Structure 1
Amino acid sequence: MNTYNSTYRASGILMILVFMFSAVNIVKGQTSKERLKIAANDKRIELATFRSNLVSEYAIERTHLQKVAKLNNWKIKETLANGKKIELQGIGADGSPLYYETYSDQAGLVSRASTLNTDGLMGLNLDGDGMKVGVWDAGVALENHIEYASRVSIGDENAEIDTHATHVTGSIISTGLKKDAKGVANKASVVSHDWTRDKIEVTKAAAEGLLLSNHSYGIKASRVPDWYFGAYTKVAQDWDKIMYNAPYYLMVTAAGNAQKSRNNETPTYGKTADGFDVLLGFTIAKNNITVAGANSKIDGNGNLKNAEVSTYSSFGPVDDGRIKPDLAGNGGTVLSTDAASNTSYDTSSGTSMATPGVTGSLLLLQQYHYELYGEYMKAATLKGLALHTADDIKAVGPDYKMGWGIMNSKSAAELLNNKGFSSHVSEETLQNGSSYSFEVTAAGNETLMASISWTDVESSFTNTGELNNTTAALVNDLDIRITKDGQTFLPWKLNPAKATSDATKGDNKVDPFERVEIPNAKGTYTITVTHKGELVNTMQDFSLIVSGVAMTTCSINAPEVSLDDAEMSNVTLSWNASEDALYEIQYKAVNQKNWATEYISVNNFSWKGLVLDTMYSFRLRTFCSQNIASEFSEVATFTFKGEETELETLHTLNADAKIPFKVYPNPAVDEIQLNVKTSENATYRIMSTSGVALKMDKASDSRINVSDLPSGLYVLQIQDANVNKSAKFYKY
């Protein structure tokens, strides 16, 4: 049993010291070193063996495919009347021809990703710089389009250039030369492949450190018998196996556009016209993210105002009742790059266009996590984060139309940033027969939410022809519960027999993601993770994500500094203590340019080696987690007088104040400070002695930069509301 305690918290805070001194060395993007680090966590022998088996299977299957196609007069490749390309990719267990098609009909790019970009709402400057994503599609992208040119590499040299692949690629990485065509991760790079050998190529790429791949295609719904819909088949099994053996790799796939197709005449729920139970092939894998299409309205602050599933987007459930699709991308007609020329653009839609928006957003979240913590998330963590923070448009849990809701990159990034303060993210391992326990305190007056996500072992069961077989594909069944005062809170689950009904809370036996929510939570709760039966491979890695909690009692209010003691050559400064805090202190003689910086965990500082009649400045801020800090305190200033040293009080600027208005240091070098507080609306003007105005700006922090002034005598004028003050100073 693992229990969170104060020792763990203290060690976590002290790690901030290490991170702060090493953060400057963090390189943006996925370096070859990082890819090797990710690859080291793969089950490389299993992946190599599996890839070898896939290559052998592919050779046999292609030969068989050609013979059977010729015998039955099936076309290998076909361009339909609407211009869409389809291609025969396999033969089902019952002998059915399996055609791949792209999932474009005319929908949109995921919302809120722009809040992470340069000049975005959050000011994070995340554009995917140095990051790489794989795109598998009907063909390869036009390599030399002006929107991405050198940032696309072709993985299949003899593959055809494809309009759909070009559009998807642009949706992820276009620079934005045409503003409305800007990609989600507009500085990232893409390796572009066609779909012919997708599993073989992904297995190799995942073993080498690939984090994400986009698949905006799938089996053509109109050319398979009804039992295929919702069935866990070999193709889903194969993809689950790849992801299980490459724990940092995540496949993102489009749900499809078969809602109105009426192709499934015997769905698990309702009538054909209702649109349920039309997911196929690898969209039904357990470990991936399957993306639905949605139309939504977002306000200027990145808040979802309303949303509805797109009229084309394929619905779940899958036969075992799992929650599929997983997420929805923001719908609407998408302008992106086109393959007609290297300067052409076109609009398109469908779940094909919602999916690259989600893929690009996930890539930005990986980039952000690396910038914050110096490492990438496992795929289960990334998937769990996206599902944990999705916007639930109905506020009653998940559904079979849009899964857990509309992807919210902004909320996901905020949760990562608040880790250790108001959220918790960890990657754990549950051993066979053991449990994991974690105690948290609710933040109060908000929803306490805890979720677990895991990359499950591929199921040994595959459906080979039985209609609506409900055998669960889940292998290692983990459970999350939250308890308080004898009450147990259970996760969400859905009932495929009542596909239009709201989600309920109970024992979820089919999903590799579980989420528990407690609205208006107050007090201390215990989160417990257990498992049913025997764990295959005797253990199961999982990711735990918690929000709506107070991970520390640390206060982010700026500390107030006082002088406790003064001796012959040193002073002792102290400030109000904050539990679980780390303090960044900065100090210098006022005529020095740079602050000296230290990090300490006690609320006092002995400043030694001071010189009589020299003026000094001191300030500090409180770190409550790696990324959450208070503002700096007001600068504490004193002229060292030995045992008679006193802090100079910073008074509010007042026309009737008896204290004289002055600036220091005087003479100044790079900066002058005021001996008074000013409001946010205060302004200053620096004049030459002949009355010429040289500088004017806000003076809201009682400090003014003068490094750009030549040596000489100046007059500083301060105006704050109806108060005007002036003082002379000399600049070295």
Structure 2
Amino acid sequence: MKWLFWVLLVSLMCVNTVLAQSKLSPKLMGESQRRAHLSTMDTFTIAVQNRPLFVRQYGDQVKILTWHSASSTLTFYATQSLIFGELIEDENILFIDAPNQPREESVLDVPNFQYNRIRKAQHQYPDNSGSGLRLSLKERKFDEADIDLTGKTFSIGLEAEDVSQHATDMATIILGAGNTSPFYKGIAPGALVASSDFNNLLPDDETLLTENGIYLQNHSYGVGIENYYGVEAYAYDRSIFSEPEIVHVFSAGNAGTSSSEDGTYSGLSFANLTGTFKQAKNTLIVSAVDTSLAISPYNSRGPAFDGRIKPELTAYGGGGTSDAAAIVSGIVTLLQESFQKKTLHLPSSALIKAVLIAGADDIGPEGIDFYSGYGSANASKSLQILESGWHDEVVVTKGENTTLEIEIPTGVKQIKLAVSWVDPAAELNVTRALINDVDAQLSLSGATWLPWVLNHSPSEAALNEPPQRAMDHLNNVEFISLESPGPGTYQLELSGANLSSASQEVSVAWYFEMADTFEWDFPTSSDILAANTAEWLSWNSTFNANEGLMAYQLNDGGWVDIGTVKLNEPFRWATPKISAAARLKMTVGVNEFVSNYFSISELPRVSVAFNCEETFGLQWPQIEAAQSYEVYEMGATSLDLIGTTTDTIYTIEKSASVYYSVAPVIGNAGGLRSQALNYTFQGTFCYFNFFAAERANEETVRITLNLSTSANIEHVEVLKSVNASEELLTDIVPEGQTSFVLSDPDLDPGLMTYQAILYFKDGTTLRSDESSLYIEIPGKLLLFPNPATDPYINLLSSGTGQLLQITDDQGKLVLEKKLEESFEYIIVQDFREGLYLYRLLEGKKVVDTGKFIKY
């Protein structure tokens, strides 16, 4: 009967009013016919008109989990019968959805901070580090004890209970201190970060964020393909509209090989963003290039459900789009800081979006596309837009035109111009999300250039078509580029003819690319490259030539040709195997462009030499070009210099710190610092890693000695003691060797003990633990301890199957045992105290006798 009720209910839903159907998300509509247990409790998300009314009506039937006041949306726990019965008929309920479980969308690959010109930006603007800014990571909790995040975290009470390495990696990309390794120094190491649990898919309360100074949140997670304007999309658009300075950066997702099951683009290899929250208009969605600096086919791509351009940007993400989003969040932090320093207030998220898009580099298919959006984020160019004042913010009034004048100088090869605004939230489950349609066009002396738009028709061919110039009535970003514009005062006209509101604030940003220029982007003079590695070199060339000839120079010597390279692609260079001061040269036609000096450094391979009670030592192979070495210790928040040495071993007194690093000093520049090492995790002991004597065979004892280091050791003595008589077995001069295997063929029956003694160059000594073994007398039996005070007695024999018989002082047999091993034992705990006799037999022949006493 329950099954019949369910079928009737679903049938009623399917033929019910359009109002009832429109309240269910496409996902719920698709899943509804598979829901066979109406009493089952599930998690649902709804938008309501009147929250107090909802609580009065259903408060005793639901368990409210989260509430977002700006969008009047809430997540709660309830039965399916309530949802598919009363709620779809309730006029107070606007929309119903069922949230999926969020999941992280990448495993961190070695981050690349060169590709998006982050290291260049840090070199150009060294005073920009995110200092004083705060942001939030919405996912699982990061490790606050990680040495790259120490002193950089704070709490707003929303963090998850479980710690995630993924979250730690995302935080490290954005603001890591670079203590673990200089390669992992984050984009904005001066910023602070809080954690927020991503199990709440609705936006965090805007008041809570702003009261804690948070105006940026990174979201590197997804929930599966959702291709509609659902509760979360609506809530994020409402949230940003209420606090337009807050920037929300989302990863596009890693579902590029999957298709949407619902909506206009179902069955296509497009429109596979992982979450309805990524369908919002006012957020920033980021795709990724992989380790080959190509757009991965696994990346989710646009368009949004209504044909809007998604993602907006692309960044490096070797492990997926999660770390690409973190890269962009780090760049946003630098932009917020730069703008705030100039204006004493934070920029709107619309201006941030416009600045990022205007400064982006085109990648993938030529022009804008549904794979990479408006291009690859370029931190240097976007910061230059803010520093040069190439941006503006205006108010467009309904029914009127607003005109901005943009002066284009002589010699410009290309201008990129982005118009962006925070659009009001649309109605839930709409077919087109744009509310305020601002239309832009650029003109000069009667010539007009419209924005670039994409064909969003639902076919593979259409979605792959190149962009065309046309009026854009879908996006709240409009993008205009112009090749080789002549100099003059251009007019950017912003039309309010299609506004739904009385007015709309609009942000505009532009970037000038000058003709016939070449600039080295990486490495800069601040960079140290690792020797004998493959490094991605990058530059910016606006020459029409496709190729250039590249060479390098070491220590002001002769130029060494690398070969012909393509000017429109990055190049991976195999660095020399030595440490040196280096330069690069690119020849384009008759023009030569020489980089600033940068360092190439061998990476010190640091290990623990010894770990004693009060001190430990670090050691490393010599680096030929190093004049000395600097030793660093992890302090409260950073690695601090604690000493300098010309040796390749350094002794340190133990303290509260466990992390240490070493860097060579090469010429006037510092060398590449080693990865920070936790000396307590290296399995190293106080010089003696291993010392033991064991029976090799019937005739030989093998002595194994492993030292953690041979540094400062003059010689090593190995002593042998038999029946309290000590002798020198051997004397070793290590000469750099740390592992030794010795043989002793002189076996004396009974207890033999071995010990090693280290003699140091400073006159001190260190003894190993003793290693002992018993040597049997052929054909005889040795019992010990005797007298027996323990619960057992050890037996030492040839172990070849002799029979042991034990009798008490009355001649009564109390134990009989066949001896198969050379070393065995017998339990004597229940023997009465007194004298016992034993005899050893081979067959019927007695080969040994003796006695022992049990106490």
**What's the TM-score once normalised by structure 1's chain length?**
0.55
Matched, 1:456 2:423: yes
Within a 5 Å distance, the mapping from 1:126-141 to structure 2 comes to: 126-137=128-139, 139-141=140-142
CA–CA separation in structure 2 for the residues paired with 1:294 and 1:55:
47
Deviations 1:599-629 (A, max 9, x none): xxxxxxxxxxxxxxxxxxxxxxxxxxxxxxx
CA–CA separation in structure 2 for the residues paired with 1:52 and 1:200:
20
In structure 2, the partner of 1:361 is 331
Q: Which letter does structure 2 place at the counterpart of 1:457?
A: P
More helix by share: 1
Contact 2:121–2:383 (CA<8 Å) still a contact in 1? no
Compute the displacement of 1:169 (Å).
1.6
Q: Which letter does structure 2 place at the counterpart of 1:531?
A: G
Matched, 1:481 2:441: yes
Contact 2:286–2:315 (CA<8 Å) still a contact in 1? yes
CA–CA separation in structure 2 for the residues paired with 1:481 and 1:108:
42
Compute the displacement of 1:249 (Å).
0.8
CA–CA separation in structure 2 for the residues paired with 1:136 and 1:324:
21
**Secondary structure at the residue paired with 1:399?**
coil
Matched, 1:189 2:211: no
Compute the displacement of 1:157 (Å).
6.5
**Secondary structure at the residue paired with 2:350?**
helix
In structure 2, the partner of 1:472 is 432
1:518 to 482, 488, 491: 482
Contact 1:214–1:253 (CA<8 Å) still a contact in 2? yes
Q: Which letter does structure 1 place at the counterpart of 2:198?
A: W
Within a 5 Å distance, the mapping from 1:372-383 to structure 2 comes to: 372-383=342-353
In structure 2, the partner of 1:155 is 156
* Distance change >3 Å, CA 99–CA 516, structure 1 → 2: same
In structure 2, the partner of 1:176 is 178
Within a 5 Å distance, the mapping from 1:235-634 to structure 2 comes to: 235-260=232-257, 262-265=258-261, 268=264, 272=268, 274-295=269-290, 307-332=293-318, 349-394=319-364, 396-419=366-389, 424-445=390-411, 446-463=413-430, 471-497=431-457, 498-524=462-488, 525-536=490-501, 538-548=502-512
Contact 1:51–1:204 (CA<8 Å) still a contact in 2? no
CA–CA separation in structure 1 for the residues paired with 2:167 and 2:217:
13
Deviations 1:141-197 (A, max 9, x none): 222222112211233377313212222222212111122332221221101111234
CA–CA separation in structure 2 for the residues paired with 1:522 and 1:381:
26
CA–CA separation in structure 1 for the residues paired with 2:180 and 2:375:
30
Which structure has more relative contact order (CA 8 Å, sep 6+)? It is 1
Deviations 1:300-351 (A, max 9, x none): xxxxxxx42123210111121100011112122xxxxxxxxxxxxxxxx221
CA–CA separation in structure 1 for the residues paired with 2:510 and 2:125:
24
Compute the displacement of 1:239 (Å).
0.3
CA–CA separation in structure 2 for the residues paired with 1:70 and 1:158:
33
CA–CA separation in structure 2 for the residues paired with 1:55 and 1:159:
26
In structure 1, the partner of 2:100 is 98
Contact 2:271–2:305 (CA<8 Å) still a contact in 1? no
CA–CA separation in structure 2 for the residues paired with 1:516 and 1:480:
9
Compute the displacement of 1:394 (Å).
4.5
Compute the displacement of 1:517 (Å).
1.4
**Secondary structure at the residue paired with 1:532?**
strand
Q: Which letter does structure 1 place at the counterpart of 2:473?
A: K
CA–CA separation in structure 1 for the residues paired with 2:153 and 2:456:
42
Within a 5 Å distance, the mapping from 1:48-59 to structure 2 comes to: none
Deviates more, 1:387-396 or 1:183-192: 387-396
In structure 1, the partner of 2:208 is 205
Give the percent of matched residue pairs that are identical in Structure 1 and Structure 2: 25
In structure 2, the partner of 1:166 is 168
Deviations 1:103-127 (A, max 9, x none): 1256575745885669943143322
* Distance change >3 Å, CA 409–CA 112, structure 1 → 2: farther
Compute the displacement of 1:533 (Å).
2.8
Q: Which letter does structure 2 place at the counterpart of 1:369?
A: F
CA–CA separation in structure 2 for the residues paired with 1:438 and 1:65:
48
Matched, 1:220 2:220: no
**Secondary structure at the residue paired with 2:507?**
strand
Unmatched tracts of structure 1, length 5 or more? 1-48, 73-90, 222-227, 298-306, 333-348, 464-470, 551-696, 698-732
Q: Which letter does structure 2 place at the counterpart of 1:489?
A: W
CA–CA separation in structure 2 for the residues paired with 1:184 and 1:55:
45
CA–CA separation in structure 2 for the residues paired with 1:51 and 1:250:
27
Contact 1:114–1:120 (CA<8 Å) still a contact in 2? no
CA–CA separation in structure 1 for the residues paired with 2:126 and 2:350:
24
* Distance change >3 Å, CA 55–CA 194, structure 1 → 2: farther
Compute the displacement of 1:50 (Å).
11
Contact 2:439–2:494 (CA<8 Å) still a contact in 1? yes
Deviations 1:209-253 (A, max 9, x none): 4221011112234xxxxxx32x11121011000101101111111
Compute the displacement of 1:414 (Å).
1.5
* Distance change >3 Å, CA 456–CA 194, structure 1 → 2: same
CA–CA separation in structure 2 for the residues paired with 1:204 and 1:117:
34
Q: Which letter does structure 1 place at the counterpart of 2:233?
A: A
CA–CA separation in structure 2 for the residues paired with 1:50 and 1:535:
24
Unmatched tracts of structure 2, length 5 or more? 1-48, 67-73, 84-92, 515-667, 669-855
* Distance change >3 Å, CA 495–CA 129, structure 1 → 2: same
**Secondary structure at the residue paired with 1:128?**
coil
Deviations 1:617-666 (A, max 9, x none): xxxxxxxxxxxxxxxxxxxxxxxxxxxxxxxxxxxxxxxxxxxxxxxxxx
Aligned pairs, number: 438
Deviates more, 1:314-323 or 1:167-176: 167-176
Q: Which letter does structure 2 place at the counterpart of 1:281?
A: T
In structure 2, the partner of 1:642 is none
Q: Which letter does structure 1 place at the counterpart of 2:143?
A: L
Compute the displacement of 1:100 (Å).
1.7
Contact 2:417–2:510 (CA<8 Å) still a contact in 1? yes
Contact 1:437–1:529 (CA<8 Å) still a contact in 2? yes
> Which protein shows a greater Rg?
2
* Distance change >3 Å, CA 515–CA 124, structure 1 → 2: same
Deviates more, 1:195-204 or 1:128-137: 195-204
Contact 1:115–1:121 (CA<8 Å) still a contact in 2? no
Contact 1:316–1:323 (CA<8 Å) still a contact in 2? yes
CA–CA separation in structure 2 for the residues paired with 1:502 and 1:254:
24
**What's the TM-score once normalised by structure 2's chain length?**
0.47
Contact 2:310–2:373 (CA<8 Å) still a contact in 1? yes
More strand by share: 2
Contact 1:107–1:354 (CA<8 Å) still a contact in 2? no
